[in-house]
């Protein structure tokens, strides 16, 4: 079967504009930004922003953060009344200290009883599939423990495991542990997706070949580089991959900014600041990037930002 290519959940990154541009360029599925189950129970401008979606933003899933099965169930029920979701994912991967302190995210890797209860509660009470995002371990590589955690997820009703090939202690750096992902894939009956360092079509192929996974999550590799989805698909099908030229980059960036302009509910200055951040993703590694960043920080309007992007010439690359 053809491996599935999804956009990974990324808090602060995968908003509606990012999802729409990724879908346009081949992402088969996207997640809303991570939702804290406690906060999801309340109506707030932030929640409305996080839940913002449109018809063409489909198929779509949500990822819940939490440690209390009944709060997570209440949050999930509320969510399902607000947004059409294909499945609901449980975050057992976030390495942030403030999250771990509350027993959520990657702390669940150390407390598999709670993880099991959360999965059981959600999978037995909700009509949509429940999935789990795991890391390969908390502190250090331990394949036996990793497989055991994945099996607990499967036995309690998870339909898919998304597994990030780094431990929580590694954060986002260091070698990707393909071996643990492979052993998890070989040990489970449910689907297993691999995550970690999918920065190029070649690395996507490596993840698929080394682990036998059913699909991959593209994360940082899509920031300022959403054409990676089509390139991965082409590469896996033996077709040539096209490197995006500066005019193509500029065209896609402007489309991305237009989505932000249309959909992002932020104050004018915060919105412009966010657009500047997104612009820098696209110009990362480009000649004279620090000077461009300086100029982007000073723009006073959307039009001024577009002018600056239009002025960026090929020869200065
Ligand atoms: C800015 C940022 C935010 C992220 N937020 C989440 C999140 O909310 N939930 C989650 O499961 N993983 C999150 N991740 C992890 C990614 O989904 C992915 O597993 C990880 O970045 C590894 O993929 P990569 O090496 O290809 O970037 C985040 C990663 C980044 C860089």
| Rounded CA separation 67/99 (Å) | 10
Quick: pLDDT tens for 290-311. Answer: 888 899 999 999 999 999 999 9
At 317, the pLDDT band (50, 70, 90 cuts) reads very low
- Report cis status (omega within 30 of 0) of the bond before 107: no
At 158, the pLDDT band (50, 70, 90 cuts) reads very high
Percent of the chain with pLDDT over 90: 92
Round the average pLDDT of the chain to a whole number and report it. 95
For residue 293, the model assigns a pLDDT of 86
Ligand 1 center to residue 63 CA distance, Å?
A: 12
Whether the per-residue pLDDT at 315 is higher than 60: the answer is no
Give me 184's structure tokens. 């998890």
Quick: pLDDT tens for 6-58. Answer: 999 999 999 999 999 999 999 999 999 999 999 988 889 999 999 999 999 99
At 265, the pLDDT band (50, 70, 90 cuts) reads very high
Place of tokens 């249309």: 262
Ligand 1 close to Cβ of residue 9 (< 6 A): yes
Ligand 1 center to residue 162 CA distance, Å?
A: 11
| Rounded CA separation 125/279 (Å) | 42
For residue 291, the model assigns a pLDDT of 85
For residue 316, the model assigns a pLDDT of 45
Ligand 1 close to Cβ of residue 13 (< 6 A): yes
At 314, the pLDDT band (50, 70, 90 cuts) reads low
Taking the model in full, what pTM does it have? 0.96
Quick: pLDDT tens for 99-151. Answer: 999 999 999 999 999 999 999 999 999 999 999 999 999 999 999 999 999 99
Paired strand residues for 168: none
Average pLDDT over residues 264-293: 91
Ligand 1 center to residue 223 CA distance, Å?
A: 11
Substitution site in 10, 164, 205 for ligand 1 pocket (most atoms within 8 Å of beta carbon): 10
Ligand 1 close to Cβ of residue 172 (< 6 A): yes
Which residue has the least CA distance to atom 28 on ligand 1? 10
Ligand 1 close to Cβ of residue 63 (< 6 A): yes
| Rounded CA separation 221/207 (Å) | 14
Ligand 1 close to Cβ of residue 11 (< 6 A): yes
For residue 10, the model assigns a pLDDT of 98
Ligand 1 close to Cβ of residue 161 (< 6 A): no
Ligand 1 center to residue 265 CA distance, Å?
A: 23
73 contacts 50 by C-beta, under 8 angstroms: no
Average pLDDT over residues 273-292: 90
């Amino acid at each position: 079967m053809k491996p599935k290519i999804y956009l990974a959940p990324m808090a602060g990154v995968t908003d509606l504009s990012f999802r729409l541009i990724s879908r346009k360029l081949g992402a088969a599925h996207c997640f809303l930004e991570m939702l804290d189950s406690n906060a999801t129970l309340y109506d707030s401008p932030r929640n409305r922003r996080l839940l913002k979606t449109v018809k063409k933003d489909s198929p779509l899933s949500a990822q819940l953060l939490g440690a209390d099965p009944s709060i997570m169930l209440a949050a999930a029920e509320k969510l399902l009344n607000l947004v059409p979701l294909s499945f609901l994912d449980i975050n057992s991967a976030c390495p942030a200290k403030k999250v771990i302190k509350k027993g959520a995210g990657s702390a669940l890797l150390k407390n598999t009883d709670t993880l099991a209860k959360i999965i059981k509660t959600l999978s037995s009470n909700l009509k949509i599939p429940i999935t789990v995002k795991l890391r390969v371990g908390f502190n250090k590589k331990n394949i036996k423990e990793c497989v055991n955690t994945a099996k607990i997820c499967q036995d309690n009703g998870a339909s898919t495991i998304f597994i990030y090939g780094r431990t929580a202690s590694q954060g986002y750096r260091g070698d990707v542990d393909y071996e643990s992902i492979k052993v998890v894939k070989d040990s489970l009956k449910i689907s297993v997706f691999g995550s970690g360092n999918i920065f190029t079509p070649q690395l996507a192929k490596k993840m698929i070949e080394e682990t036998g996974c059913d699909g991959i999550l593209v994360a940082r590799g899509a920031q300022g580089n959403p054409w990676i989805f089509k390139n991965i698909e082409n590469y896996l099908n033996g077709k040539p991959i096209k490197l995006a030229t500066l005019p193509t980059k500029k065209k896609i960036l402007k489309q991305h900014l237009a989505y932000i302009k249309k959909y992002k509910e932020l104050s004018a200055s915060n919105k412009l600041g966010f657009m500047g951040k997104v612009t820098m993703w696209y110009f990362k590694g480009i000649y004279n990037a620090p000077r461009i960043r300086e100029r982007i920080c000073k723009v006073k309007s959307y039009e001024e930002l577009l002018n600056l992007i239009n002025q960026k010439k090929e020869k200065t690359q």
